[in-house]
Chain A
Amino acid sequence: MLFGTVSLPHAIAVWQRNAAMYRRTWKLNLLPNFFEPLLYLLSIGVGVGSYVTQMEGVSYVQFLAPGLVAVAAMNGASFEVTYNTFVRLNYEKTYDSMLTTPIQPEDLLCGEVLWAVTRACIYGGCFFVVIAALGLAPLPSSFAALLVLPMAGLLFAAIGIAFSLRVVTIDLFNFYFTLFLTPLFLFSDIFFPLKERLPGAWLWLAEALPLLHPVRLARAAFRGELSPILAWDVLYIVALSAILLAAAARTARSRLTS
C-alpha cells in the first residue's frame, strides 16, 4: 500500500514540532483569522451585496458565507505548506535534521500534511464562528460545513506540498498565490454561480477547479441539502489528494535522500 510505510507516531512527532512553534505565536496568528472574514463580508457581502437583491434565493451575504469558509481552510493549509515548508527544506534544514532520527521522509511528509490540515481547521473554524455569530450560518445544519475544513485542508496541503518540494526558488510562490490560488478564489462558485455564467458545454471543465468542490460541499451544508453530486466532490478531493501525496512522497525521498 502507498502509505503503508508511514509511522504515525513519528508523523505526530513532526506535527508536535510545528504545533510547539505555533503555540509560541498563536495569539498573533489567530487575530487576523477573525478579522479577515469580517472585512470580506463587509466589503463584498454588505457593500456589493446592497446592489444585488438575491442570489440563488438567499441574500448575497448569505450566498457568500459558505464559500468563504472553504477559502479560509484553503488559505490556512496553503500558507503552511508553501513558504514554511520551503524554508524548512532549504534554509533551516529541519528535514535533514529529522532524518538523523528514526523519522523517514514519508513520516515527515505525513506530519507536515497533518499540521496543514490542523491549520486549515483553525482558520476555517475561526471564520465559521464569526459567520455563525453574525447569524449567517443556519444552525445546526451548517455545522456539517465543519467537516469540509479537513477535506479542503487535505486537498490544498497535498497540492501545495507537491509544488513546494519541487520548486527551487522561493520566488515561484508568487506564481502559486497570484496565478493559482487567486483565480481559484475568484472563479470557484464563491462570488457568483458558475453555472449561470458559463456556457453549458464548458461547465465540465470547471469541475477540474479544486476549490469548487469544498465550496459546493460547504454551501450544501449551509443549505442542509444532500445531492448525488456531493459524492463526486468528496471523491475528487480524496483521489486528487492521494495522487499528489504519492507524488510528493517520491519527491521528498529524492530531495532528502540520495
Chain B
Amino acid sequence: MVSPQTRFDFPASPVAELRSVTKRFGDRLAVDGLDLEVAPGLCFGLLGPNGAGKTTALRMLYGVTKPSTGTVRVFGLDVALHPRTVRARIGVTLQENVLLEALSPLENLRIFGRYHLLREPELGRRAAELIELFELGSHARTPVRVLSGGMQRRLAIALSLMNQPEFLILDEPTTGLDPQVRLVLWARIRDLRDQGTTVLLTTHYMDEAERICDHVAILAHGRLRAEGAPGALVRAHLAPEALELDLDAAAEAALFSGLEASPRRLRAGRRLFVYDDDVRPHVERIRRRDGGERRPLVVRPTNLEDVFLAVTGTSLSTVPAEEVRP
C-alpha cells in the first residue's frame, strides 16, 4: 500500500476544485473567496466551527447550491452545468440521516439505488454487499426505526455508496455518536480511501481530522485559514509542545515579562496556551511563582485544535454555534 503522504507528492488532476468561490445569501457572505483542491485518493478534511461555510461548500460540490462568483469543478466538469453527470459519480451523506424508518435497511438501500437507476441484479447485489460491509446483516430486514443510532448512521453512509462513487462526501459523519461507533466508522472510511475512493468530510472534531484525514483545510467565516497535512500544519504554525492552564492576563504578563525569548501564547477566555520546543522551564517558573501550591496544568503535544486557535483566533469550544442554513 502506498502511504497517503507519498500519493500526495505526485499531484494528479484534482477530483474537486473550487476557484475563487463566493456564496452570498442575502447580505450574509457564507463562503468568501474560497480556493480548494481535493487531490485524488486522499481523505480530505474540511474543518471549522458551525457557521464556517462547510456545508455550503459541500452543497456547491454536488451542485444544489450555485456559487455567486467563481467556479466549482468535480472530475473536471463544471458542476453548475453538469449536475446529473457529476452526481452519478459521487456519493453524499448528509449531516442528518434521511432514512425510511418503516422499511428495512435492505429496502432503504434498494430504493436509494433506484435513484441512481440501478436495476436487478446489480441492485440486489450491491445492497447485499453494503449490508455485509457495514455489518448490518443481523438487522437487514428489521424496520430502521428500531436500529441504534450507530447502525442508522452506518446505513446512511451505505446508501451513498450504492452507486460505487469515485468521490465520497460526508457531512459530519460521526457527530453525536458513541466513541466506539466512531472508531468503527473511521476504519470504514480509511478502508474506502485505501481502495481508491477520494473522501471529503467535514468535522468540528480535531481528533477525527488527525486520525483519518491526509489533508485538512481550516475554514472560518467562509474563508480558508490554513491547509496541509495535519502533522505539517501543526509544525508550520506552532512549536511542538503545549502547556495549558487557567491564568488571567495580568498574571500572564507578570509571568512572562523579562524573558529574553518569550514563547508563543494564545488565549481562549481564562484558558492560556503556551507553545515551545520544551515547555518544562515554563512549568518550573509557574511552580516557583506559586510557592507550595500545585496549580493544575496540562503538558501535551501540540495538535490541530491549537492550530485552529492560532489561525482563527477562536477556540472551537468557545465559538458560538450558529447554524448555516442556505
Contacts and interface: CB of A to CB of B under 8 A. Distances in A.
Contacts of A14: 115
Given A93-B96, A102-B84, A258-B25, A17 B114 contact: yes
B133 interface: no
B103 interface: yes
B98 A101 contact: no
B64 A99 contact: yes
A96 B94 contact: yes
B73 interface: no
A13 B118 CA distance: 10
A97 interface: yes
B115 A256 contact: no
Interface string A80-94: 000000000000111
B62 interface: yes
Interface string B28-72: 000000000000000000000000000000010010111000000
A10 B117 contact: yes
A27 interface: no
B146 interface: no
B94 A93 contact: yes
Nearest to B171: A100
Given A97-B98, A257-B66, A104 B84 contact: yes
Q: How large is the interface on B (under 10, 10 to 19, 20 to 34, 35 or more residues)?
A: 20 to 34
Given A20-B103, A94-B98, A96-B94, A258 B117 contact: no
Interface of A: 7, 9-10, 13-14, 16-17, 20-21, 24-25, 92-94, 96-104, 256-258
24 contacts: A9-B117, A10-B115, A16-B114, A20-B103, A21-B100, A24-B102, A93-B96, A96-B64, A97-B98, A98-B115, A99-B64, A100-B87, A100-B94, A100-B160, A102-B83, A102-B84, A102-B85, A102-B116, A102-B117, A104-B83, A257-B66, A258-B59, A258-B64, A258-B326
Closest 6 CB pairs of A and B: A100-B92, A97-B98, A101-B115, A13-B114, A102-B84, A258-B326
Given A9-B117, A101-B87, 13 more contacts: A7-B84, A14-B115, A16-B114, A17-B111, A94-B98, A97-B94, A100-B87, A100-B92, A102-B84, A104-B84, A256-B64, A258-B25, A258-B326
